[in-house]
Amino acid sequence: EKITIGGYPEVLARKPNRRQRWFDSYLHAVIQRDVKSLYDIQKIGHLEKLFQVLAAISSESLNFSRLAKLTQLDVKSVQKYITALENLYLVKLIPAWHPNELKRAVKQPKIHFIDTGLLCALKHMNSALLLVDRTQLGSVMETFVCSELLKLLSREPSGYRLYHYRDKD
């Protein structure tokens, strides 16, 4: 239940049947108000599709070329849109860990939503559906853990960083 509700205070105060409507209007406001006014984005209509695709691949390695094909945008636009979403604290790119810093810089990052309530709303998932469809639980749980770690790290003055690890196996 905690995972599917997320952490927005406005959502926590709402009844379960009103949460999806709040997330829908929140996304609409972010796209129309924040993204449109803060970033020079021409194809604002493609942003909703990008949100849907990002929700489907949350906690996976990010392939900009694949995203460009799926959203019918060019790679530079996808990168610009994701940077905007990251600056608005909606998603977070987690870089790959590698002992060699040069290799670390070229490996694909993973993408996570900052709030799992927003992620679940985009996927139209509630706690009952998440328990039934265990294939979705893994990626949503990983995103939840990542967002909780990001909250903890934001309070640490020591400058810890979060990475994901993947080897050839």
pLDDT at 146 over 90: yes
C-alpha 111/C-alpha 107 separation (Å) is 13
Q: Which pLDDT does position 3 carry in this prediction? A: 93
The one-character DSSP state at 42 is S
DSSP structure string for 95-130: PBP-SSHHHHHHSPPEEEES-HHHHHHHTT--HHHH
Average pLDDT over residues 144-150: 94
pLDDT at 165 over 90: no
Average pLDDT over residues 80-99: 90
Average pLDDT over residues 54-80: 92
Do the beta carbons of residue 119 and residue 55 sit within 8 Å?
Answer: yes
> Among 29-43, 49-63, 121-135, where is mean pLDDT lowest?
29-43
pLDDT at 106 over 70: no
What percentage of the chain exceeds 90 in pLDDT? 53
pLDDT at 142 over 90: yes
| Higher local confidence (pLDDT), 101 or 115 | 115
pLDDT at 159 over 80: no
Which residues, 6 or more positions from 109, have their beta carbon under 8 angstroms from its beta carbon?
61, 62, 93, 94, 95, 96, 164
Average pLDDT over residues 96-102: 76
